[in-house]
Amino acid sequence: MQSLCDVLESMEYPGRFLMIGQTKDQNEIVAIYGITSRSKENQARKLVVNKIIDCGQNIGLEVNVQASNQELMEQSADRDNLVYSAMIFNKGIVVGNGVQTSTVAEHLDDFKRPTDSIMRGHSSHIYEPDSASTPRISAAIDLCRSNKKFSIGIIKKCNVEQKEAFKSIFEYQFVPEQGVFISTYSGKNDSPPPSFVGDPIIAKIPGDNLVQTAYRIYNSLAPERAREAAKGRGDFRVSVACLYYNPFKLKVSISIVNRKETNPSSITFSKRDNVWYEDPKG
């Protein structure tokens, strides 16, 4: 089976992408989110971890897209779509490439079933209002049940001539060492880039641990790693975030690789009395 790195190395330009899966030992759920962009204005971003605070207590985590160079990012024609929550970890895990991430997370609290939360969360959205009609992609995992399923959804434009949105939701079971991948674009570096087509891709999760997984994914997007089908691509890398959640130890770890940063940054939280505390031991 091909790995996620194999998939990315064969794509000139994936756009934004996500993967949901499980580690080989079945102890941890894996959530991955990545950003690539072709313009320097849209590349002026980074992923950062923030706490979700309620009544003074940390009840969850978010991985947010923020400006790394505010002045440069403000020059982008798509600036209204560039800052959002990419990962929300609370009663469940939600991953997405825009404002719909928060909407799906709200519905995951209400409906629990990942498929229902994506369906309701996507009902108030269409594809992004940019020149490429960029698809919206989302994934949801319920952590409140012994549920071995997760869901992935996409909203994209039907075709060039029509404005209607085409919405699909896919449901999967966790399989050890495997993940399910989807990206906003099909991989061709055209203008505009063509939307992702077909079912999400099942692939092997790269790396033997959190930091290695994040680092390998980020490196697989480098120009020198491009395979024949992607020869000539530029360095479109912006950020990659990888989340590992161990439901048995109630521990969540996140590793992030941002553009122009030398090493991945990692942080671990453990849960006690329904509150998440930073764990210096990792």
For the entire predicted model, the pTM comes to 0.95
**Measuring CA to CA, which residue among 216, 193, 237 is closest to residue 45?**
237
Strands (E), the chain: 16-22, 29-36, 45-54, 57-67, 84-89, 92-96, 136-142, 149-157, 165-173, 178-183, 201-204, 237-246, 251-258, 265-272, 275-278
CA distance 91 to 87: 12
Domain containing residue 248: 4-278
Confidence tier at 84 by pLDDT (50, 70, 90): very high
* pLDDT recorded at residue 110: 64
* Alpha-carbon distances, residue 261 vs 11, 206, 241 (angstroms): 23, 21, 13
Q: What is the pLDDT of residues 158-215, one digit of tens each?
A: 876 678 899 999 999 999 999 999 999 999 999 999 999 999 999 999 999 999 999 9
Question: Does residue 269 or residue 111 have the better pLDDT?
Answer: 269
Classified as helix, coil or strand, 91 is coil
Q: Number of structural domains, the chain?
A: 1
| pLDDT for residue 146 is more than 80 | no
Q: Mean per-residue pLDDT for 105-118?
A: 84
Q: What residue type is assigned to position 220 of the chain?
A: S
Q: What residue type is assigned to position 94 of the chain?
A: V
Question: Does residue 96 or residue 281 have the better pLDDT?
Answer: 96
Kindly tell me the burial class for residue 54, based on how many C-beta atoms sit within 10 Å of its own C-beta (0-12, 13-18, 19 or more): exposed
What CATH number is attached to the domain comprising 261?
Answer: 3.60.20.20
